[in-house]
Amino acid sequence: MSTTWIIGAPAAVAAAASFGGASLLQHQAAHEVPERVPLRLGLLLELIQIRKFRYGVGCAAVGFGLQILALHAAPLAVVQPILVTGVLFYLLWATLFFHRPVDPMLALGAVLALAGLSGFLLIASPRAGSSNISGVAVIPLGIGLAVVVMVCLFIAARTRHENRTIPFAVATAVFYGVTAGLIRSLVTAPIVGVGGVFTAWQLYAIIAIGPIGFLLNQNAFQEGVVGSVAVGIITVGDPMVSIGLGVAWFEDRLTGGAGPVAGQVLFLMVMAGGIVMLTHRANQVAGAIKESLERETS
């Protein structure tokens, strides 16, 4: 048996489990903080004082290390479909934590979204192109990300509370996908010596946008009563943004031809259907949870 399955696959499963646990802990911590103005930096200062949040950050760090190990031993086409099961682990940990059975429709929506993404990745089979991008790209990148944040806040301000998690989760996925692309560019850039990394513009772009993505993530968790919506959107959206940037920035290639393209479109439709089902059902579950809590407090 190759190292792909001996090391890569188990490491990817463990990483997905860690990411799922991290999301649950961070989601719970976000609801212990009073809601105020979105995207305020003070939210992170309040969260860091909560033990659940610190444990969640620790779980995420462990998951990131396991992800690196998995990618070192196995190709992206093997690792990524396994990693996206983090939303299923989220549902599993939530079931154990709250002592409630998994909602079948939530689980089905998550499975459809993940199956669609996994099928797309397996058929598209992205292949690496060039190694890095020009620093000139940082200008349209900064403008584009600023527009994403403004649109996110605009939609959130005009959306019902239970639906505000969607624009924040979409924006989080965009920022995480861009961060992944910048990390790829940084590690493949022709840097001379250890100190050369500090002259790379990618490092400072990562430092600038990474915390914004993390802050958007916590806002998505704070707004949503049912965290599986934010986790599902971010889990699916992050690699899709990364793939798109790979094609745009690095000239990555996807499998062409009428058959493969038709298959990619089909799986993208399945993925979209799963996200819609997950979102719709989560709103229903959130309403039921609110009614239950109101009856308990009355």
Report percent pLDDT > 70 for the chain.
80
Q: How confident is the model at residue 284 (pLDDT cuts 50, 70, 90)?
A: low
Q: pLDDT tens digits for 56-104?
A: 999 999 988 888 788 777 765 567 667 777 877 887 887 787 777 777 8
CA–CA distances in Å: residue 134 to residues 130, 158, 200, 209, 246: 11, 37, 11, 18, 14
Give me the pLDDT at residue 222, please: 81
Q: Taking the domains of the chain in order of start, what are their residue ranges? A: 3-297
Question: What average pLDDT does the segment 217-245 reach?
Answer: 77
Give me the pLDDT at residue 1, please: 46
As a whole number, the mean pLDDT across the chain is: 78
Give me the pLDDT at residue 61, please: 92
Question: What average pLDDT does the segment 225-231 reach?
Answer: 69
Cβ-based neighbours of 217, under 8 Å, separated by 6 or more: 26, 168, 169, 172, 176, 230, 234
Among 217-221, 236-240, 284-288, which is the least confidently predicted range? 284-288
Give me the pLDDT at residue 55, please: 94
Q: Using the predicted structure, report yes or no on whether residue 178 has a pLDDT greater than 60.
A: yes
Q: Using the predicted structure, report yes or no on whether residue 230 has a pLDDT greater than 70.
A: yes
Q: Using the predicted structure, report yes or no on whether residue 293 has a pLDDT greater than 50.
A: no
Q: What is the largest CA-CA distance in the chain?
A: 66
Question: What average pLDDT does the segment 135-163 reach?
Answer: 77
CA distance 290 to 1: 50
CB atoms within 10 A of CB 245: 22
pTM summary value? 0.77
Q: pLDDT tens digits for 5-54?
A: 678 788 888 988 998 889 889 888 888 888 777 667 788 888 899 999 99
Q: Which residues pair with 127 in a beta bridge?
A: 253
Question: What average pLDDT does the segment 221-234 reach?
Answer: 74
Q: Using the predicted structure, report yes or no on whether residue 165 has a pLDDT greater than 50.
A: yes
Q: How confident is the model at residue 285 (pLDDT cuts 50, 70, 90)?
A: low
Report percent pLDDT > 90 for the chain.
6
